[in-house]
Structure 1
Amino acid sequence: MAKRNQKKVTKPTLQEQYQSCPRANFFKRLGAYTYDLFALAALLMLAVVFAIVATIIANKVGLINLDAYKDTAEYLSHSGVFAAYLALVIVGFYGYFWSKGGQTIGMKAWRLRVQNSDGSNISFTQALIRLATSAFGLGNIMAFFENRNAFQDLWAECEVVVLTQELSNWKGFKGMAFMDQDKK
């Protein structure tokens, strides 16, 4: 019996699948940004509760004096440290999610992912650059044009792509480890 010449069909590697995803348009980015605002609002509420409790405790122990203020909220509203603390919470939220998995909660819902052009996660430094140059989301206006990066993506040398359903549901992403997985 003659053997058939069967061509071996190679499945693209995970890195190639990430690289082949199209760039996200303005409306998908806006949807993810809106979802993230709700998640970030909840996180900021928890951060404020923590700050209020810490301020009350500091007042009781005598580290600070709240007598000149109407209440704890007025004290915190005049505090530059409190504003810096909230900014740090926001930077930590985006920096962590973008650098560890490439997706925030809103990006996961809209199947978006921020990545380097080779499909790998961006670094925390890239996340900081991206956040600093985003102009509170206005940098996404450049994404109105077909297959274009937003302003912050150009500065951070990364891209936001729309994942396929299969890639979006895949639970095993761990940074560049996927490159080693395909070799096994």
Structure 2
Amino acid sequence: MSHQPHLQTAGFIRRIGALIYDTCLILILEVLAAGVIVAILETMVAIGLIHYGIYKDVSSFLTHHPFWSSIFTAYLAIIWIGFFVWCWTQKGQTLGMKAWRLVVSNEDGTPITITQALIRLFTSGFGLSNLTVPLDPQKRGFHDIWAKTNLYVIPKDKS
């Protein structure tokens, strides 16, 4: 994409629509990612390679073990963070953004960097930063202001 001034900045409703789509997608990805770990651990228990010790089942082990619960949480966080960072830096959009014809980029149309994606994600407040869109004259969310990014609407003829 080249210079973006001709594209309309995304408004509040489109942003929330994409957020709802992406929330559903992330939940599915997280369930699948957790399912892979559960399947691996249950297989290892079944063939006698490990046992849960004082924990009654895999769920208790993954949520209460002092070491493995932290590793499991970090693994799920990496899946979540990686999804957004990869989508935003490689494609400029997530699946939810694609459905709502949105693209995130720098003002000149260049893709955002990994640093910008991380800033955007960590200042988004799980999407709550979009509440600032109606208050900003340029229709930017708090996270876009901090990351120096813009969210644009792709015209129908270009999507």
For normalisation by structure 2, the TM-score amounts to 0.89
The answer to whether 1:25 aligns with 2:16 is no
The answer to whether 1:164 aligns with 2:155 is yes
The percent of aligned pairs where both chains have the same amino acid is: 38
Instruction: List per-residue Cα deviations over 1:62-105 (Å, max 9, x = no partner).
Output: 3xx40211110111122111111111110011011000011000
Amino acid in the other structure paired with 1:134: S
> What 5-or-longer segments of structure 1 have no aligned partner?
1-13, 169-184
Counterpart position of 2:22: 36
Return the alpha-carbon distance in structure 2 between the equivalents of residues 167 and 97 of structure 1: 19
Counterpart position of 1:115: 105
> What 5-or-longer segments of structure 2 have no aligned partner?
none
Counterpart position of 1:106: 96
Between Structure 1 and Structure 2, whose CA radius of gyration is higher?
1
**8 A Cα contact 1:22 1:147, kept in partner:** no
The answer to whether 1:68 aligns with 2:58 is no
SS of aligned partner of 2:93: coil
Return the alpha-carbon distance in structure 2 between the equivalents of residues 39 and 19 of structure 1: 30
Instruction: List per-residue Cα deviations over 1:120-146 (Å, max 9, x = no partner).
Output: 110111111110111111111111135
The Cα of 1:19 is off from its aligned counterpart by 3.2
Number of aligned positions between the proteins = 152
Return the alpha-carbon distance in structure 1 between the equivalents of residues 101 and 14 of structure 2: 9
SS of aligned partner of 1:120: coil
SS of aligned partner of 1:31: helix
Large movers: runs of 4+ above 4 Å: none
